[in-house]
Amino acid sequence: MREYKIAAIPADGIGPEVIEAGRAVLSALSERRGDLRFTFTQFDWGSDWYKKHGKMMPDDGLDQLRDFDAIYFGAVGAPDVPDHITLWGLRLPICQGFDQYANVRPTRIIPGITSPLRGVGVGDLDWVIVRENSEGEYSGHGGRAHRGLPEEVGTETAIFTRVGVTRIMRYAFKMAQSRPRKLLTVVTKSNAQRHGMVMWDEIAAEVSQEFPDVTWDKMLVDAMTVRMVKNPKSLDTIVATNLHADILSDLAGALSGSLGVAPTGNIDPERRFPSMFEPIHGSAFDITGKGIANPVATFWTAAQMLEHLGEASAAASLMRAVDRVCEEGILTPDVGGKATTREVTDAVVSAISGSN
Ligand code: NAI
Ligand code: MG
C-alpha cells in the first residue's frame, strides 16, 4: 500500500466545491485499486482567513506544508479583497517559496466537449504549455514613487536569469521529448524586448543541443495567438515566460471548451518541496454556491498530481473515467450541459468504481 499525504487548500469561491469533488474522486480511485491511499489534511486559508487575521495564511504556512507529498489547491479571489493581496498572499508565496519553477498546463479536447474552433475535434488540439513560474514578469520587482502626485511613477521589472531560463528550457525540452511528436515551440517577444527575451532565444538554442531528437521552432507571442487559433494541429509542447504563458494558457483553456476543464501543476522538478496542483480557473464568484462549477479541471489536475507521484496508471484510469463521463454528455452548463458538480462527480466516481 502506497500512502500519500496531501495538503488540501480549497480557499475561495468555487475552490471548496471543486476540491471536495476532487477528493471524492481520489478516494474512489484509492478504494477501487486498493494499492494506494491518500490522507488529506485540509487548511482553511484564503480570503475568509484574511478577513479574520489580516493575512491569507499563517506566517509559518510554508513550514506547515513542507512535509506533504503534494498540495491540492482550489482558487483564490474574493469580491471584497483586492486581487493582488489574495494572489500574493497565498498562491504565489507557495509557488515561489517551494521553487515550483515549472508550471505545466496540458490542454486537449475532451470527447463530448465542443471547441469554439470550427472543425476542431478530439485529437486536433493536444498541447502542453510549460510556463516559467519563478521569475520573469511576476518576479515582484518594481515600485511606486511620488504616489498620488502628477509625476507618480510605477515600474514593473521583468527578471530573467540564466539559471532560471536554462532550467525551464531544459524541462520543456524534456517534456517535448517525452511526448510522441517531440515538438517544441519556444515563445518570446524578442523583437521588441531585446534583452531578456533575446537571452531566452539564445539559451533555447544552447539547450536544444542536448535534445537532438526534439524538433523546435520559435514564435513571437502575438503571432502565437494566431497560430493557436488558426493551426492548432501544428503545435505540441510550448514554453513561454510567466506572463506570456499565463495569457496563452487562458486562451488554450478557452479553445479546449472552457476554463472549467483546464488544469495546471506547479512543479518543483527537483522534488525538494511539495508540488502544487490546481485548476487554472479562479474563484468564479458569479457561480459560487450554485453547485454548477465544472469539476473536470480539478479532476484532471488530480491526474497530474498522480503522475507526479509516480502513479501513472492511476492517473490514466482517472482520465479515462473523466473522458467517458464527458462523452456520455454528463456536463456542467459552462460546457453546454445541465448537470451539477455533484452529478458529474458521482458519474466519475461510478465510472472509476466500475472500471478495471
Ligand atoms: P474565473 O476563472 O474565476 O472566472 C472566469 C469565468 O469562467 C466566470 O464566468 C466563471 O463563472 C467561469 N468559470 C471559471 N471556472 C469555472 C468552472 N470550474 N466551472 C464553470 N465555470 C467556470 O476568473 P475571474 O472571474 O476573472 O476572477 C475571479 C476571481 O478569481 C478574481 O478574484 C481573480 O483574481 C481570481 N483568480 C484566481 C486564480 C487562482 O486562484 N489561480 C486564477 C484566476 C483568477
Ligand atoms: Mg491566469
- What is the ipTM metric for this complex? 0.97
* Percentages of the chain per state (helix, strand, coil), in multiples of 5: 40, 25, 35
Q: Which of 222, 355, 344 is nearest to 295 (CA)?
A: 344
Which pLDDT tens digit goes with each residue over 25-36? 999 999 999 999
State yes or no: is 189 an active-site residue: yes
Q: Which ligand gives the minimal distance to the CA of 129?
A: 2
- Could you tell me if 199 and 285 lie in one domain? no
pLDDT score, position 81: 93
Q: Do 185 and 69 reside in the same domain of the chain?
A: no
50 a catalytic residue: no
Pocket probe mutation, ligand 1, options 283, 290, 331, max atoms within 8 Å of Cβ:
283
| Residue 192 confidence (pLDDT) | 87
Q: Is residue 251 assigned to a domain?
A: yes
**Residue 138 annotated among the catalytic residues of the structure:** yes
* Residue with CA nearest ligand 1 atom 22: 260
What lines the ligand 1 site, CB under 6 Å? 14, 75-77, 83, 91, 259-260, 281-284, 286-287, 293-294, 297, 332, 334
Position 355 scores a pLDDT of 67
Q: Whose CA is nearest to atom 8 of ligand 1?
A: 284
Helix (H) or strand (E) holding 247: helix 242-255
Contact 25, 56 (CB under 8 A): no
* Residue 131 shares a structural domain with residue 246: yes
Quick one: 130 and 242 in the same domain? yes
Out of 189, 236, 268, 323, the active site residue is 189
Domain that residue 234 falls in = 126-142+156-255
- pLDDT band at 139, cuts 50/70/90? confident
240 with 275, same domain: the answer is: no
Nearest atom (ligand 1) to Cα of 11: 40
Q: Identify whether residues 233 and 277 lie together within a single domain.
A: no
Last residue of a domain, one of 203, 231, 255: 255
What's the pLDDT at 264?
A: 96
Could you tell me if residue 211 is inside a domain? yes
Mean pLDDT of 43-55: 96
Neighbours of ion ligand 2 (CB under 5 A): 246
pLDDT of residue 89: 92
Per-residue model confidence as pLDDT tens digits over 106-127 = 999 999 999 999 999 999 999 9
Residue type, 249: S
Ligand 1 atom nearest to 285, measured from its CA: 28
2 CA to centre of ligand 2 in angstroms: 34
β-strand pairing of 215-220 with 183-188:
parallel
What total number of domains does the chain contain?
Answer: 2
Q: Output the residue whose Cα is nearest ligand 1's atom 40.
A: 75
Place of cell 509516480: 310
Q: Closest Cα to atom 33, ligand 1: which residue? A: 77
pLDDT value for 80: 93
Classify residue 321: in a domain, yes or no: yes
Residue 114: inside a domain, yes or no?
no
**pLDDT digit string, tens, across residues 203-236:** 999 999 999 999 999 999 999 999 999 999 999 9
The string of pLDDT tens digits covering residues 252-268 is 999 998 889 999 999 99
Nearest-atom index, ligand 1, CA of 79: 32
Would residue 302 count as lying in a domain?
A: yes
Spell out the alpha helix ranges (H) of 133-241.
162-178, 196-208, 221-230
Residue 158, pLDDT above cutoff 90: yes
CB atoms within 10 A of CB 236: 18
Residue 169 within a domain: yes
Instruction: State the distance from the centre of ligand 1 to the C-alpha of 333, rounded, in angstroms.
Output: 15
> What mean pLDDT do residues 124-146 have?
95
Contact between residue 306 and residue 72 where contact means Cβ atoms under 8 Å apart: no
109 lies in some domain? no
- Would the pLDDT of 356 be above 80? no
Average pLDDT (95-114) is: 95
Q: What is the mean pLDDT of the chain?
A: 96
In a domain, 343, yes or no: yes
Q: What percent of the chain has pLDDT over 90?
A: 94
Residue whose C-alpha cell is 500574493: 88
Q: Which amino acid is at 340?
A: T
The domain that holds 248 is classified in CATH as 3.40.50
Q: The domain that contains 321 carries what CATH number?
A: 3.40.718.10
Of 255, 282, 311, the last residue of a domain is: 255
Active-site hit among 126, 246, 323, 334: 246
Q: Which ligand 1 atom is at minimum distance from the Cα of 287?
A: 11
Whole-number percent of the chain with pLDDT over 70: 99
Residue with the nearest Cα to atom 10 of ligand 1?
284
174, three cell numbers: 524534456
Which stretches does DSSP call E strand in the chain?
2-11, 36-42, 70-75, 102-108, 126-132, 136-145, 153-159, 183-188, 215-220, 237-240, 263-267, 275-279
| 290 in active site | no
Statement to judge: residues 244 and 266 lie in one domain: no
By most ligand atoms within 8 Å of CB, the mutation choice from 80, 86, 259 for ligand 1 is 259
What are the distances in angstroms from CA 242 to CA 84, 172, 288?
16, 14, 28
The set of cell numbers assigned to 119 is 472543425
Question: Are 246 and 333 within one domain?
Answer: no
